[in-house]
Amino acid sequence: PEPQSFKQEITAVFGQPVAENPTQVMIEAAFADAGLAWRYLTLEVAPSDLAAAVAGAKAMGFRGFNLTIPHKVEVIQHLDRLSEAAEKMGAVNCVIRDGDELIGENTDGKGFVESLREVSDPQGQNVVILGAGGAARAIAVEMALAGAAKFTIVNRSAERGEQLTALIKAKTGAAVEFVHWTDDYDIPTGTHVVINATSIGLFPDVDARIPLNTGSLTADMVVADVIPNPPATRLVQEATAAGCTVLDGLGMLVNQGVIGFRLWTGIEPNPAVMRTALEEVFG
């Protein structure tokens, strides 16, 4: 018989603060479901310790790790290679070990596109993105790589909005327009996908209203929210009432985890198990 092995394969997330990040629950549920003796550790890493943490992960043979605030940009200098999307975004949220090399990937936007593909093909679509932060950037780059035709970036601060607009122009072949968000926004007719990529509506500010004329949402549109908690945001409820096809932020979060799991283990996890694990956390 095979000698028994007490060695576990290690994955992790590095962040600060990190204690409230629920990814461990979702990924470890998927490891258990797949019968893998793998662990996912939630590790507090200060910015000044990031280089040592990455070297330590490499030395200890971690199979991969996620990065969250404030490490997504700074980690890049410590990696050996980047995926095309991570390179364009200038941000990494997932590292995969390949032999002796550490490869930087970004799964935030890929998780979104994977959710969207369940209801609609991004190819040739007109996309309105509310917000211009990290989530908006990841989604825009991935949607452009998936063939979206045109982006309208709607953002409160002109500086961030114009930065994302310039990035799309420089790094993708898609058309792009910037709208400075000063009052209730009307979704233009001909829009295929509307995405809330702001933090408006995140727990505990669940009643916060997105400055949007919900009368301009029509049943032929896909409306997506990045807010995972609560899944049924005010926007999700209003878009559902308007007859739109609706995607919640929990689906995006699960799919982002599915992609990371697949990259690390090479096997397909069970997304239903992952969603249930997160729903239990979010109550």
Q: Which residues bind ligand NDP (CB under 6 A)?
A: 108, 111, 131-136, 155-157, 160, 197-200, 202, 226-228, 249, 252-253, 256
Q: What sign results for the dihedral spanned by CA atoms 110, 112, 118, 120?
A: negative
- Catalytic position from the list 72, 88, 150, 171: 72
Question: Residue written as tokens 């000063």?
Answer: 182
Question: Residue written as tokens 């109550």?
Answer: 283
Active site residue 110: no
Distances (CA, A) of 264 to 39, 109, 221: 12, 18, 35
Each as own residue / partner, the long-range contacts of residues 26-29 (CB below 8 Å, 24 or more positions apart, any chain) are 26/253, 26/254, 26/257, 26/274, 26/277, 26/278, 27/257, 27/260, 27/261, 27/274, 28/277, 29/273, 29/274, 29/276, 29/277
Peptide bond connecting 271 to the previous residue in cis, omega within 30 degrees of 0: no
Enclosing H/E stretch for 222:
strand 222-225
Rounded distance between C-alpha atoms, residue 86 and residue 109, angstroms: 10
Is the CB of 16 or the CB of 58 nearer to ligand NDP? 16
Is the CB of 111 or the CB of 269 nearer to ligand NDP? 111
Enclosing H/E stretch for 182:
none
Is the CB of 53 or the CB of 140 nearer to ligand NDP? 140
Is the CB of 102 or the CB of 200 nearer to ligand NDP? 200
Is the CB of 108 or the CB of 142 nearer to ligand NDP? 108
Catalytic residues: 72
